[in-house]
Chain A
Amino acid sequence: MLKKIILFSVLPFLIFPLSGCWDNRDINHRVMPISIGVSKMDEGYKVFLQIPEPAPDRLGTRIVTGEGETINQIIDNISVNMESAVDLLHVKVIVVDKRLAEEGLNDLISGFIRSRDVSAKAVIAICDDDIDQFFQSMENSEGQEGTILLDYFEKYSGWDPHIALSRVWEVYRSSHSYTRDVAIPMLKRGQTTFLEIVGSAVIKNGKLVEVISSDETLLYNAFKNKSTRGKIEVLDQASVMVISNDTDYKTEFTDQTPSLQTTFNFSVMILETNGNPSAQEIKKNLEELLLDRYKALVVKLKTSEADILGIGQHFRKEIPRKDLKNWRSDYYPNLEFNPIIHVDIQNYGNLKHTAN
């Protein structure tokens, strides 16, 4: 009996360690930046934190900056100087400046992966503008919700098929993978809109080697079988909207030369016409337009030896692993790329199509 009394009087005390009170910071004592910016200085980095701040009837934005040798040191310094602790757990967008991307992102990205402070799912983008002003304007702009950069990339709000969406882990993978590179979106401040897309940066082994336009990014997304729904293509005689797309691949490997036949099927809807073109004409013109663009894109990529389309992935069966290591330099430039484009006009909108 005595034993039980002792036991039950000790048990309630176990509740204290449950609270985790020795090292826990309450949520009101943390600041959680939604996006961070990193730029390369002559020595070390400069970091921008975009922190949403609740104001009376809206969500404001506060920009905090710091300079130092390493990212962690800067974050730590900012933390020391602020009234609450900085917690990078909810960073959703990382913006780096162009210079840093040209010099290489590997150290930065592997730092993120190593410490797991920043989620591996964070979207990464390049700022093709003065990054100081880029972040300053975010703070100044009136009525700006604190989540503008995040909304821009979210699939359910601002994302569009000509934005290349790449996450931290994908960039990390590209810097180690033998057969796969990555494209990341390039932004600048817009004239009337807050952001303007410049195109996509082609990142090879963590370094920026080439820039492709946003039209080409659409092809990149279509190649990866991502939906390009909603994209509008303008031809001489008509403008059409892509409703759905899918892609098939056929690979061949003869005499150390890889060849890839890709069939793209686009279903489109006609929005506007110029004069009275026949369906056949529109179809043919659109196919030609996309075909030329694809060929130009692949030529561009082959010269930079960056395989953002992940074409090497399709040849893992044929090329032994030790040779696969040199896919980018030995095989990729010799690639024979045969795109076939099928356009299907799904409907003509609300008007009957009467052309011959």
Chain B
Amino acid sequence: MDRSLQVVMMYILTHLGLIFFLYPANIIESTDQGHWIPISLGIIIHIAFVLLYLKGLSFFPGRNIITIYSSFGKVYLILFLLPVFLYFISAAIIIVRAYSEILTIIFLANTPLWALMALLLFIPLFLSIQGVQAIFRTGILVSFLFLPFLLFVLIVSFQNVDVSYLYPIWNNDFSFITKQSYINSFFAISGGFLFLGFVQPEISFQRKKIVIAFAAVIPAFILSVYIPLLTFGKATAETFVFPFVLALDTIALSWIMFDRATVFFLLSLITFIMLFITLVLWKASIIIHHSFPSIKTGYIVAALTIVIYIACLLIPNWQQVQMLFKWNSVLRFYVLFTVPLSICFLGHLSKKKVY
């Protein structure tokens, strides 16, 4: 059965969750003017590698990347799948820790971190034990419930926009490419699309339909940076850790019964992020399951959750989260570049063998 809609929705939701998080601050910090240049560069890289990845997967209909790599031997498995696994674990740790910190900074100042992190992990744990089909069906449900909110918030966020802040529009200085903050922005660009290679054969989808998802994700990349920039200007926006959240704080709507539109926005994003963590847990668990088929996936997920939870508890402050981001960037780029390229390469190789 064709489940393209579920895949497209999952793609949109997880990316929205990642983009509206640290991406705006990273991009705003990376350059002084002409922010559309780093944004477009990121989008181009994103689209190029997603298309490459899909192209590579099309050589192996109905197979996921674990079976693809393992059919070429143990070396491939260790060379490509092990970093992917490590990347998933570290990404989950960072996401859980950072999001619980955001929650405390933004609206739950008194709630202990351990409780927030337990919540952020418990629901993904439960959901990922239910298996891939349940995850994707939940994605559809969540998008029905929360995407309208998000759309509403995005529309009203234009309230305090001043177009003069668009200028100066051009920038001859391309030094942002080597800046750490720009490298960190790839967290939103590289992390979300790998699931496309894991879902087959349980969930089959048409490659073309993913292009629809680009249409939703590209504006999100641009708006997440430009709404705070046009509201505050670069000089002010760069002082914020979460510029987009502050930009939402400035919205004054007297006819809405809730004072802060930010809460709607954040709660939607948190459900998206829970879905993302669910996907990550599930992907990591099937990688382990493939290597140790005798262990039940349920136990693997539970063990992974406990490892992630303990790791999160060991991170004491925001400074350390930033450090993790830095260390994680090596894995991030390795995964971003090597997985799509290697799948594509192996695809061509296998094609030659057949004929």
- Residues of A at the B interface (CB closer than 8 Å) are 17, 20, 22-23, 90, 113, 116-117, 119-121, 154-156, 167, 169, 172-173, 176-180, 310, 313-314, 316-317, 320-321
- A172-B236, A173-B233, A177-B233 given as contacts; is B250 within 8 A of A317 (CB)? no
CA distance A314 to B235 in the complex (A): 16
Cβ-neighbour of B168 out of A116, A119, A321 (below 8 A) = A321
User: Chain A contacts of B250 at CB under 8 A?
Assistant: 120-121, 167, 169
A102 to B79, CA, bound (A): 64
Interface stretch of the complex, out of B103-111, B138-146, B180-188: B103-111
* Given known A-B contacts A23-B111, A172-B236, A314 and B259 have beta carbons under 8 A apart: no
Give chain B interface residues in 45-68, CB to chain A under 8 Å.
none
Complex CA–CA separation, A145 to B33 (angstroms): 49
Listed residue (B33, B112, B235, B251) with the most chain A CB atoms within 10 angstroms of its CB = B235
- Collect the chain A residues with CB atoms within 8 Å of residue B112's CB: 22-23
Taking the closest CB of chain B, its distance from the CB of A60, in whole angstroms, is: 23
In this complex, the member of B119, B169, B260 whose beta carbon has the largest number of chain A beta carbons within 10 angstroms is B260
CB of B317 closer than 8 Å to a CB of A: no
Residue count of chain B within 8 Å CB distance of chain A: 31
13 contacts across the A-B interface (CB closer than 8 A): A20-B111, A23-B112, A90-B259, A116-B105, A116-B106, A121-B250, A169-B246, A173-B233, A177-B232, A178-B235, A316-B165, A320-B168, A321-B32
In the assembled complex, the Cα of A180 lies from the Cα of B231 at a distance in Å of: 12
Q: Is B355 an interface residue (CB 8 A)?
A: no
Q: How far is A156 from B253 in the complex, measured between Cα atoms in Å?
A: 12
Query: Once the chains are docked, how many angstroms separate the CA of A313 from the CA of B169?
Result: 14
| A119 and B260 form a contact (CB under 8 A) | yes
Using Cβ atoms and an 8 Å threshold, which residues of chain A touch B251?
A: 121
- The complex places the Cα of A317 from the Cα of B109 at a distance, in Å, of 42
- Distance of A214 Cα from B207 Cα, bound (Å): 63
Asked if B235 and A119 sit within 8 Å, CB to CB, the answer is: no
The chain B residue with its CB closest to the CB of A317 is: B167
Beyond A116-B105, A119-B260, is A313–B162 a contact (Cβ under 8 Å)?
A: yes
> 19 new A-B pairs (CB below 8 Å) besides A121-B251, A179-B233, A316-B167?
A22-B111, A23-B111, A113-B246, A119-B249, A120-B250, A121-B249, A121-B250, A154-B254, A155-B254, A172-B236, A176-B232, A176-B239, A177-B232, A177-B235, A178-B235, A180-B233, A313-B162, A316-B165, A316-B168
The reply to whether the CB of B115 lies closer than 8 angstroms to some CB of chain A is: yes
**A contact face: mostly helix, strand, loop, or mixed:** loop
The contact of A173 among B109, B232, B249, by CB within 8 Å, is: B232
Check if A177 sits within 8 Å of B236, measured CB to CB: yes
Given contacts A22-B115, A313-B164, contact A121 B252 (CB under 8 A): yes
Chain B 111-125, CB within 8 Å of chain A: the 1/0 string? 110010001000000
- In the bound complex, how far is the Cα of B237 from the Cα of A177, in angstroms? 9
The 7 closest A-B pairs by CB, nearest first: A316-B167, A313-B164, A176-B236, A120-B249, A23-B110, A317-B167, A173-B236
Partner of B249, one of A169, A310, A314: A169
Residue of B nearest to A90 (CB): B259
Please name all residues of chain A whose beta carbon is closer than 8 Å to the beta carbon of B166 when the two chains form the complex: 316
Tell which of B107, B166, B239 has the most Cβ of chain A within 10 Å.
Answer: B239
A116 to B107, CA, bound (A): 8
A156 touches B254 (CB 8 A): yes
Bound complex: CA of A121 vs CA of B249, how far in Å? 7
Task: Tell me, in angstroms, the Cα distance from A310 to B164 when the chains sit together.
Answer: 10
Nearest neighbor of A170 in chain B, beta-carbon distance:
B250
In the complex, the answer to whether A321 meets B162 with C-beta atoms within 8 Å is no
A169–B240 alpha-carbon span in the complex (Å): 12
Q: Which residue of B lies closest to A113 (CB)?
A: B246
Q: Which chain B positions have C-beta within 8 A of A117?
A: 109
A314 touches B164 (CB 8 A): yes
Chain B residue at minimal CB-CB distance from A322: B32
B237 to chain A, nearest CB (A): 9
CB B250 to nearest CB in A, in angstroms, measures 5
B163 vs chain A, min Cβ distance (A): 9
Question: In whole angstroms, how far apart are the Cα atoms of A181 and B228 in the complex?
Answer: 18
A156-B254, A172-B236 given; A119·B259 CB < 8 A = yes
With a cutoff of 8 Å between Cβ atoms, the chain A residues found around residue B167 in the complex are: 316-317
| Residue in B115, B162, B236 with the greatest tally of chain A CB atoms within 10 Å | B236
Closest to B240 in A: A113
- Within 209-263 of B, Cβ neighbours of A (below 8 Å) are at 232-233, 235-236, 239, 246, 249-252, 254, 259-260
Distance to closest chain B CB from A249 (angstroms): 10
Q: Determine which residue in A116, A155, A314 has the highest number of CB atoms from chain B within 10 A of its CB, and name it.
A: A116
Closest B residue to A325 by CB, please name it: B235
By a CB distance below 8 angstroms, the chain A residues around B236 are 172-173, 176-177
Q: Smallest CB–CB gap between A308 and chain B, Å?
A: 14
The interface bits of chain B over 2-38 (1 if a CB of A lies within 8 angstroms of the residue's CB, else 0) are 0000000000000000000000000000001100000
A117 to chain B, nearest CB (A): 8
Name which residue of chain A comes closest to B106, CB basis.
Answer: A116
Q: Kindly state the separation between the CA atoms of A276 and B206 in the bound complex, as whole angstroms.
A: 80
Interchain CB contact under 8 A, A176 and B249: no
A3 to B251, alpha carbons, bound, how many Å? 50
A320 to chain B, nearest CB (A): 7
A172 CA to B233 CA, complexed, in Å: 11
Q: For the complex, what is the distance from the CA of A24 to the CA of B240, rounded to whole Å? A: 28
Q: Are B168 and A317 in contact (CB under 8 A)?
A: yes
Bound: A317/B165 CA distance, A: 9
Complex CA–CA separation, A17 to B106 (angstroms) = 20
